[in-house]
A = this chain, B = another copy of it.
Amino acid sequence: MTPTPGPDAGLLLAGTRIVEVSSFVAVPLAGMTLGQLGADVTRVDPIGGAADYHRWPLTDDGESLYWASLNKGKRSLAANFRDPEAQALIADLIVDAGILVTNAAGRDWLDHDTLAARRPDLVHVQLLGRADGGAAVDYTVNAAMGFPLATGPVGVSAPVNHLLPAWDVAAGLYMALAVAAAVRRRDATGLGARIVLPLEDVALATVGNLGYLAEAQFGGPDRERLGTAVYGTFGTDVVTSDGARFMLVALTPRHFADLTALTGTTDAVKSLETALGVDFRDEGTRFRHRDTLSGLIRSWFLEHTAVEAAEALAASSVLHERYRTFRELAADPMVTDNPMFSVLDQPRIGPHLAPGLPMAIDGRREAPRPAPANGDDTAAVLAERLGLSADRLTDLTARGIVKVSAPTAQKDAR
């Protein structure tokens, strides 16, 4: 098959069409990311939305900021998933698009074999909880991965769960990668692909790839909680006289020399080296003596303001960053002056700064596009892709098989 550049050959995935049947984080992130790379993504949902459509945080009007943020730039088709006629229409759309990304389970009309029988070059990518088909979500998968029992302040014994759904994010990106690579093979060979991606395996592979499983297999002890220290090198948080907190990391001898110079502890650190018979140019040695070194370094920060600390750190090679709350971050130049962000006038929610793809491609950044409301594009997608007539759409809508959004002022505002 010869790949056909789409209307905008400038985008890496221009000309690809994707149907997404999804909920929550991983698959919506995959679909959105592929859309940011140029794919035409239609999210297909039950009428009224999937289980994630009203997930917190909400606006005062009950609109989900979570859903709107994870579904930017997609089209939305709403149908009654229990109705065979709706199922057939969705299957037709998938066959037309040639790519399905989904975390739907137990819907045999979405199975690879059923759909690939109609389109052999289908790219079918399914996220499961576990490889055996069992249910799992980020917060349960995470419990098994070792991190919650090794994260957090020294001395804590209870598990510390991450707030960032890191496994969902990784799974969504693995899924997007699987689609792009499978499309590349399809373009080259005409072959479709059936890809199954268990969330649990994404987490397990990552724990393994980072060396934790090898360490345990070769008899390493379980990791102790380190607070803000960084395993095997030097890292610590510090507090300034006015209560700001910074994270500092000294990976190299130069970083560490700069840090001791900045804090006026060079002589003290040298004396310590002599007394202990160690060499702090070695990062493992810095790690072993982290409490002593952190104690020395923190004193300077307690006697200086955040502004003074930021200036001194900026003039050094020390890796550093100030801790921010989400509110502080949203108002920070890191967001407000960042070309990745632009004002998105999101219907039903309002204008706000939203991110595009975190990469510049050939110097270009694509602005984020609004998320649809449930069923916003039902009519357009069915007419455009399947050639359905206005009469047929009216009939399907009247019988509750699909939902088309009303042509309201909201819609016009887009």
Contact = CB atoms under 8 A, between A and B. Distances in A.
B228 A334 contact: no
B145 A329 contact: yes
A5 B245 contact: no
B139 A326 contact: no
B13 A181 contact: yes
Given A161-B228, A174-B358, A69 B193 contact: no
A335 B200 CA distance: 11
Given A66-B211, A212-B326, A56 B231 contact: yes
A278 interface: no
A163 B184 contact: no
Nearest to A184: B184
Main secondary structure, interface of A, reads: mixed
A390 interface: no
Contacts of A197: 358-359
Contact of A176 (B177, B212, B228): B177
Interface residues of A, number: 154
A350 B219 CA distance: 13
A340 B143 contact: no
Contacts of A57: 211, 214-215, 220, 231-232
A3 B147 contact: no
Q: How many copies, total?
A: 2
A372 interface: no
A177 B169 contact: no
A210 B9 contact: no
A9 B69 CA distance: 37
Interface stretch (A297-305, A316-324, A380-388, A397-405): A316-324
Nearest to A194: B362
Interface centre among A29, A195, A207, A359 (most CB of B within 10 A): A359
Interface in A324-359: 324-332, 334-335, 338-341, 349-350, 352-359
Contacts of A362: 193-195
A405 B198 CA distance: 39
A158 interface: yes
Contacts of A217: 330, 352-353
29 contacts: A5-B189, A12-B182, A13-B181, A14-B185, A56-B287, A65-B211, A67-B211, A136-B319, A137-B251, A140-B319, A143-B237, A143-B247, A143-B321, A147-B163, A148-B323, A152-B156, A164-B166, A169-B206, A194-B361, A195-B362, A197-B359, A201-B338, A204-B338, A208-B335, A213-B355, A214-B354, A221-B327, A222-B326, A222-B327
| Shortest Cβ-Cβ A-B pairs, 3 listed | A56-B232, A173-B173, A146-B326
